[in-house]
Structures are given as structure tokens and as C-alpha cells.
């Protein structure tokens, strides 16, 4: 079942949250124990990792208990905003800024993880080979992201009609160009690119080579384990993948 803290019908009680926290710790402990037994039999090393959406859900895990048992934690530092609401802004910005919603940023979410007890050298930072967009965007000049940025039509279209507002990177590069009325923009403070159509009032946040390079350099400087991506099919030509590999190798 999908839960949401903002929906009273699905929000977990404090007792349920505590039970989930304990259950996850027991799961990791059990997996680690069984992998260690298997290693003794096969002579092979079995790594154990977990991918977790950053934010309030990640704070519900006992990281001090599970981090010694994990080889890596894959921090899903994307989907900060999306078509599930009118709130508009960056999908996976590197830095939190004074503009936009709730102070979201890869930097603050990763710091949350280290503060909760996850060693920084085990954290793999997430990047996105897709974008999320909104229509009917209000009060935007095409350059500066306003505070409490929103769109009155929300997510109305995308690469796949089954998920409005979701755009694969290759689709954005081919079909959302100047010929279709889209302008490329870049929020230098947040290290986040975007596309803007002033006529249709469409704002699309995504990741490009510049933001991937910035995120890779930051992850190296912070001594994190590296980068991972969701998902590879968004980059069939390998441009973003090559940028990521080259930036991490320098």
C-alpha cells in the first residue's frame, strides 16, 4: 500500500512508524547474517545495499543500527517535486536555495543522512536521466525561480501517457527544443537546468551534462561513494552516462 503523511487515510500512526523502523532493522540484520553464512560456503563477498528516498521517510530508519551492516546506501536524491501536486520547481537540484519549496536540495538531504548516522563514504548520490514538468505555470519570468512556485494545470502530458509530467531525457532533447517554443535555462545557484515555454506556460525540470558534472564533482569533494542513476533508458546515446563517468574519473 502506498502511504502519504498528508493523506489522513493512509498516514501511518506513531506506533506503525516504530514497528516499520524495527522491521527494517531486523530485515537488514537477517540479510547480512545470511550473506555472511553464504560467504563462508562459497568464498565470495556479497554486498548489501539499500535505495531510499531522501526526506521524511529516510528519517524513519535507524541508520546507526543498519549502517554498519550495509555496504552502500543509494540516496534517491530526485523527485523532490513532481506531477502529484501543483508545487513546481527543481526535480533533483544539487544545492538548496532560498527560492522554491521547503529548502529542498541534494546537499541538505545528504547531510540529513550523515547526521542520522550513515557514513558519507557509503552514500551513493542519485542523478536523474528524466525530467518532470507542469503546465499553467504562474508568475515566472523564464529566469528566476520564485518562492512557492506553482502551476494551475499540473502535469498534463509527457513521454508516456500513463505518467503525465514525466519526460525521458532523450525525448526532451529531441522534441522540446526552440523549434517547439522551449527555452533552455539554468539555475546556477541550485545547479539545475530547466526548459520553459512562455506561450504554453510549461516548466520542465531535468538533469543535463552540466548538472551531472556539478553533482559528480560535489560527490567527490564530499568523499561519497559516487553516483547512480534512474534510469539508464533515458540516455540511449550515452551522453549523460559518459559525462558522469568522466567527471568521477578526474
Reduced to 3 DSSP states, what percent helix, strand and coil does the chain have, rounded to the nearest 5?
A: 35, 20, 45
- Mean predicted lDDT score pLDDT of the chain: 94
At 34 the pLDDT is: 98
- Alpha carbon distances (Å) from 173 to 120, 176, 195, 208, 235: 34, 6, 10, 10, 10
Predicted confidence band at 1 (pLDDT cuts at 50, 70, 90)? very low
Question: How confident is the model over 109-118, as pLDDT tens digits?
Answer: 999 999 999 9
- Residue matched to cell numbers 559528480: 216
Q: How far apart are the C-alpha atoms of 38 and 65, rounded to whole Å?
A: 22
Question: How confident is the model over 193-236, as pLDDT tens digits?
Answer: 999 999 999 999 999 999 999 999 999 999 999 999 999 999 99
At 168 the pLDDT is: 98
Question: How confident is the model over 40-77, as pLDDT tens digits?
Answer: 999 999 999 999 998 877 889 999 999 999 999 999 99
- Alpha carbon distances (Å) from 38 to 25, 42, 43: 20, 6, 8
Please indicate whether residue 177 or residue 14 has the higher confidence score (pLDDT).
177
Question: How confident is the model over 175-194, as pLDDT tens digits?
Answer: 999 999 999 999 999 999 99
Question: How confident is the model over 82-130, as pLDDT tens digits?
Answer: 988 899 999 999 999 998 888 899 999 999 999 999 999 999 999 999 9
Predicted confidence band at 131 (pLDDT cuts at 50, 70, 90)? very high
Q: How far apart are the C-alpha atoms of 223 and 175, rounded to whole Å?
A: 37
Evaluate if residue 162 carries a pLDDT over 60.
yes
At 247 the pLDDT is: 97
Alpha helices in the chain (DSSP H): 14-42, 63-66, 106-115, 169-175, 209-221, 239-249
Q: Is the pTM of this model over 0.85?
A: yes
Strands 123-128 and 72-76: parallel
Retrieve residue 188's grid coordinates. Answer: 546556477
Beta-carbon neighbour count of residue 38 at 10 Å? Answer: 11
At 214 the pLDDT is: 98
Tell me which long-range contacts 191-196 makes (C-beta under 8 A, separation of at least 24).
191/93, 191/94, 191/95, 191/215, 192/90, 192/91, 192/92, 192/93, 192/94, 194/90, 195/131, 195/133, 196/137, 196/140, 196/142
At 180 the pLDDT is: 97
Evaluate if residue 11 carries a pLDDT over 80.
no
* CA–centroid distance for 13 within its chain: 26
Q: How far apart are the C-alpha atoms of 161 and 106, rounded to whole Å?
A: 29
Evaluate if residue 3 carries a pLDDT over 70.
no
First and final C-alpha spacing in the chain: 43
Amino acid at each position: 500500500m502506498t502511504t502519504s503523511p498528508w493523506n489522513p487515510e493512509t498516514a501511518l500512526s506513531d506506533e506503525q512508524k516504530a514497528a516499520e523502523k524495527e522491521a527494517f532493522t531486523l530485515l537488514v540484520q537477517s540479510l547480512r547474517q545470511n550473506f555472511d553464512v553464504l560467504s563462508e560456503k562459497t568464498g565470495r563477498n556479497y554486498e548489501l545495499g539499500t535505495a531510499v528516498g531522501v526526506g521524511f521517510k529516510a528519517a524513519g530508519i535507524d541508520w546507526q543500527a543498519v549502517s554498519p551492516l550495509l555496504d552502500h546506501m543509494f540516496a534517491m536524491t530526485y523527485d523532490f517535486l513532481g506531477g502529484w501536486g501543483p508545487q513546481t520547481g527543481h526535480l533533483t537540484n544539487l544545492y538548496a536555495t532560498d527560492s522554491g519549496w521547503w529548502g529542498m536540495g541534494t546537499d541538505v538531504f545528504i547531510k540529513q543522512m550523515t547526521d542520522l548516522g550513515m557514513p558519507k563514504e557509503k552514500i551513493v548520490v542519485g542523478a536523474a536521466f528524466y525530467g518532470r514538468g507542469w503546465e499553467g505555470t504562474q508568475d515566472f519570468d523564464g529566469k528566476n525561480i520564485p518562492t512557492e512556485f506553482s502551476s494551475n494545470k499540473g502535469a498534463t502530458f509527457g513521454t508516456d501517457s500513463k505518467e503525465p509530467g514525466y519526460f525521458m531525457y532523450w525525448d526532451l532533447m529531441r522534441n522540446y527544443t526552440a523549434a517547439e517554443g522551449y527555452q533552455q535555462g539554468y539555475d546556477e545557484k541550485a545547479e539545475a537546468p530547466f526548459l520553459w515555454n512562455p506561450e504554453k506556460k510549461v516548466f520542465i525540470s531535468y538533469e543535463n551534462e552540466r548538472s551531472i558534472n556539478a553533482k559528480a564533482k560535489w560527490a567527490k569533494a564530499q568523499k561519497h561513494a559516487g553516483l547512480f542513476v534512474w534510469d539508464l533508458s533515458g540516455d540511449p546515446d550515452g551522453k549523460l552516462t559518459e559525462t558522469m563517468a568522466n567527471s568521477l574519473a578526474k
